[in-house]
């Protein structure tokens, strides 16, 4: 990633590895205007503390204002407030990423949370595959 950051058309990366040593190496080894976004809601504050830029978020569909306040608080130097918000949001972040079925990932729990929040959530875009016919090898 450090070498790729030298390409001017590449402005940043969504980092979702949860490997903070790797993330720190990316941030310290890339040009100053290369942006690192957290790809995991629960890693946002630690990545900001390492020099990251923000988050590409799933939970923001539910608590976008709170996530923005957390980031704004951190940027403004109000780290205690940012940490308090982060701790408050962690249970929701964790629920959004419960993976009970590897084929559905976090989609089901996120849709359920959106429904509970009385938000409009369309039906899944993919239909279930029909059962195989008797002529299927």
Q: What pLDDT digit, counting tens, does each position of 59-110 carry?
A: 888 899 999 999 999 999 999 999 999 999 998 888 877 665 555 555 556 6
| pLDDT recorded at residue 73 | 98
Dist CA 53 CA 64 (whole Å): 16
Closest CA to 16 of 29, 1, 31: 1
Mean pLDDT estimate for the chain: 82
Question: What is the biggest distance separating any 2 CA atoms in the chain, rounded to whole angstroms?
Answer: 66
For residues 105-129, average pLDDT: 55
Say which CATH superfamily domain 4-116 falls into: Aldolase class I (3.20.20.70)
Query: Where do the structural domains in the chain lie, given as residue ranges?
Result: 4-116
| pLDDT recorded at residue 20 | 97
Our measurement of the distance from residue 106's CA atom to the centroid of its chain's CA atoms, rounded to an integer in Å, reads: 11
Q: Is residue 71 a contact partner of residue 48, using CB atoms and an 8 Å limit?
A: yes
């Amino acid at each position: 990633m450090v070498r790729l950051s030298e390409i001017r058309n590449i402005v940043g990366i969504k980092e979702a590895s949860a490997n903070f040593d790797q993330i720190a190496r990316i941030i310290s080894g890339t040009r100053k205007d290369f942006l690192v976004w957290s790809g995991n809601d629960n890693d946002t504050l630690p990545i900001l503390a390492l020099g990251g830029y923000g988050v590409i978020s799933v939970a923001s569909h539910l608590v976008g204002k709170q996530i923005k306040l957390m980031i704004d608080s951190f940027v403004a130097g109000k780290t205690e407030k940012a940490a308090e918000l982060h701790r408050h949001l962690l249970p929701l972040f964790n629920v959004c990423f419960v993976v009970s079925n590897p084929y559905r990932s976090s989609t089901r729990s996120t849709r359920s949370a959106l429904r509970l929040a009385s938000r409009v959530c369309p039906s899944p875009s993919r239909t279930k595959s029909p059962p195989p016919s008797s002529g299927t090898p």
